[in-house]
Amino acid sequence: MAIYPQAFPPRKRRPSAGAFMSPKLSDQSLLRSLLSICQEISSLEPFRFLLRRTSLSMIRKTNLLSMLFEDLVRNSTAAFSPSALLCFQELYILLQRIQTLIEDSSHGSKMWLLIQTESLANCFHEFTLDLSTLLDILPIKELRLNDDVEEVVSLLRNQCSRSTTKSFVDPLDDDLRREVCTMLDRLKSEIVPDHSRLSEIFIRLGIGSSASCTEELESLQDEFQNQTEEKSKSQLIALVGLVRYAKCVLFGASTPASDLIRRKSASELGFPVDFRCPISLELMRDPVAVATGQTYDRESIKLWIESGHNTCPKTGQTLAHTDLIPNRALKNLIAMWCREQRIPFETAENSKGLVNAVKKNKAALEATRMMASFLVNMLSVSQSMEAANGVVYELRSLAKTDSDCRACIAEAGAIPLLVRYLSSDVGGAQPNLQVNAVTAILNLSILEANKTRIMETDGALNGVIEVLRSGATWEAKGNAAATIFSLSGVHGYRKRLGRKTRVIKGLLELAKEGPEHGCFRRDAMVAILNLAGEREALARMVEGGVVEMVVQVMEGLPEEAVTVLEAVVRSGGMLAIAAAYGAIRKLGCLLREGSERARESAAATLVTICRKGGSEMVAELASMPGIERVIWELMGVGTVRARRKAASLLRILRRWAAGLDSEVADEGYSQVVSPSITATTTVAG
């Protein structure tokens, strides 16, 4: 799918030098364009906190220049000489550069503006020099200006010539810049910034609240993506660490309710489910397809494969190869959706660069460590649930950021403190606190080392299970299910989780009873599928009614339901096969109307049911009107695996029709004599 630039809202990104070109316009159109851009610049606000005098001076000069073009537009009818036309064209390019610099600096990061004060002052000085030169060579007499306008132009020319000696940097701005640089150097030496001085700096920059700190962080991250020089990137990432730290220590924990109104985190917006990675449960930044056709975020599936898995996490199928194929069409759709929702969208390459820069930057890393310690200390002394809720929310948000933040939070001792807020008592009194606590643990669990910390922390696993079974909200239960899925990524923990009846029951209840909107049922289904790889867990699931649950939710979650059913009937024994009798007609409908992936899994599941279940199962499938035609169609247009399974299914139906019942069932299984849920026992081979 082609994505055109106009589909995206404008981004804060400086144009390259070549982007400023002289317009190919008639004389009068060029004059009107010059007047328009002068008026636009004149209407801009000067910088509020830094370089105010410099920016105000440039805006005033442009305002004076607009009088020249206003007079020319109003009175001039003759064509201009080549020298005058060339001056106007060069003036247009200069004004474009001035407008871009003022707008870019006004809407960008205040911290970065401070660090770049001297460089920006030089830019304004160069603009003044260029304007002075152009006014000197402009043939004023040829333009036939009225006396007042000619006097204004003369005044402007004199102002520019007086300003050509050197650039001006406000001494107060320069002192502030030096102080911030010193503070960053001290952070590298693990020296905690003085909070009073830090507060003064932020007040002078106009960063006076938690919300404005969040905006500043977003601006710094945007600026990071715009930079190519390693030195600038290093400075920016150090500033990110400082602002994060200041946000916590100066303005305390955010109030979740107010932050949620302003914040546009993808997970809170209810983004399309196809944009969500089945492993990390986050918005995919670099979607890739694996051998089974399923799509995951590149970093998540790479970690899965590098951990020793050779199966598809969602379907449980063995991967024929481990090549990762970029899903560029989906990536473009995600990018367009993010821009429309005004959510920052970085590619995996840029995100990786940001994370790597943090790891290499001592100041940013120490600021992160100090911030995590500060929040954990606040949480340890919180006297009320309201105060704790704000801190836990900050930890939840911070744990989403990157692996360094997750490591620092866990090392600071946050996990045992978070466990205190998982109980039913907390959920009843403060539901948001329980949600924030379990979500913080979920975010922490993304880091492999933290999985061990969580599993070994006294009460952590039981707390997550309690939220799964009796959480105060569906969001809490869904995030608890997602945590179970995350922890089950380690084989030893998957076996341990599968032995717990409460885990199995909680996942089945959430999948069956969760709301149809949202992703909570899907979270449970993905966790069920992951645990189904363990024989003991699978037996508990079958006893708990996993097949009946799948049949119940198949209309709402067809792909997930049929994938779970395929895994269960393949390894669940005769009890599962018999229970699947009621699903045969729904699977037949999926063969006819389902998505490509659902049809593939439905065909594979029906083959297993018919082979292991016997003639009663085949008869039920054969009684569906037009089923052979549907199977023939799948053999022609389905995936490679779907075509193969459809051919097997057609063979089974024809052998049954020919009366070859004894060859339908696999060896080692007796025939099912009735369609009831009760099944015969397996025969030892």
Cβ neighbours of 58 (radius 10 Å)? 23
508-562 tens-digit pLDDT: 999 989 887 768 888 888 889 888 888 888 888 888 888 889 888 888 888 888 8
pLDDT for 667 beyond 90: no
Place of tokens 């002289």: 22
| Mean pLDDT confidence for 423-438 | 92
- Inform me whether the pLDDT recorded for 108 exceeds 90: no
Q: Are 125 and 166 in contact (CB under 8 A)?
A: yes
Phi, psi of 285 (to 5 degrees): -100, -30
> How confident is residue 281, by pLDDT bands cut at 50, 70 and 90?
low
Instruction: Kindly report, residue by residue over 180-207, the tens digit of the pLDDT.
Output: 999 888 888 888 888 899 999 999 888 9
Q: What is the pLDDT of residues 203-235, one digit of tens each?
A: 988 898 888 888 888 888 888 877 778 888 888
Task: Name the CA radius of gyration of the chain, rounded.
Answer: 33
- What's the confidence (pLDDT) of residue 657? 85
Q: Dump pLDDT digits (tens) for 562-619.
A: 888 888 888 877 778 888 888 888 888 888 888 888 888 889 889 988 888 888 888 9
Rounded-to-10 torsion of CA 615, 620, 626, 631: -60
Domain annotation for the chain: domains and CATH numbers: 27-169 (no CATH), 172-252+272-381 (3.30.40.10), 384-544 (1.25.10.10)
Most confident of 6-10, 347-351, 677-681: 347-351
- In this prediction, residue 671 carries a pLDDT of 35
What's the mean pLDDT in 442-467? 93
Which of residues 357 and 212 earns the better pLDDT score? 212
Average pLDDT of the chain, as a whole number: 81
Residue whose C-alpha is closest to residue 391's, from 401, 381, 379, 383 = 379
Distance of CA 190 to the CA centre of its chain: 31
The 3-state secondary structure of 331-380 reads: HHHHHHHHHHCCCCCCCHHHHHHHHHHHHHCHHHHHHHHHHHHHHHHHHH
Residue 256 pLDDT greater than 70, yes or no: no
pLDDT for position 442:
93
| pLDDT at position 17 over 50 | no
Report the C-alpha dihedral over residues 238, 241, 243, 244, rounded to 10 degrees.
170
- What are the C-alpha distances in Å from 168 to residues 50, 99, 126, 310, 641? 12, 19, 12, 63, 71
Interval 25-55: pLDDT, tens:
667 888 888 889 899 999 988 888 888 888 8
Could you give the CA distance from residue 403 to residue 513 in angstroms, rounded to a whole number?
34
CA gap 556, 410 in Å, rounded: 38
Which pair of structure tokens corresponds to residue 438? 């379990």
Residue 624 has pLDDT above 60, yes or no: yes
Whether 481 shows a pLDDT value over 90: the answer reads yes
The pLDDT of residue 661 is 56
Answer for the pair 220, 239: CB distance below 8 angstroms, yes or no: yes
**At how many degrees (to 10) do helices 474-487 and 431-445 cross?**
20
CA atoms within 13 A on the CB side of 32: 6
CA dihedral sign of residues 357, 361, 363, 367: positive
Contact 283, 275 (CB under 8 A): yes
pTM over 0.85, yes/no: no
DSSP state of 663: G
Q: What is the DSSP string of 628-648?
A: HHHHHHHHHHS-HHHHHHHHH
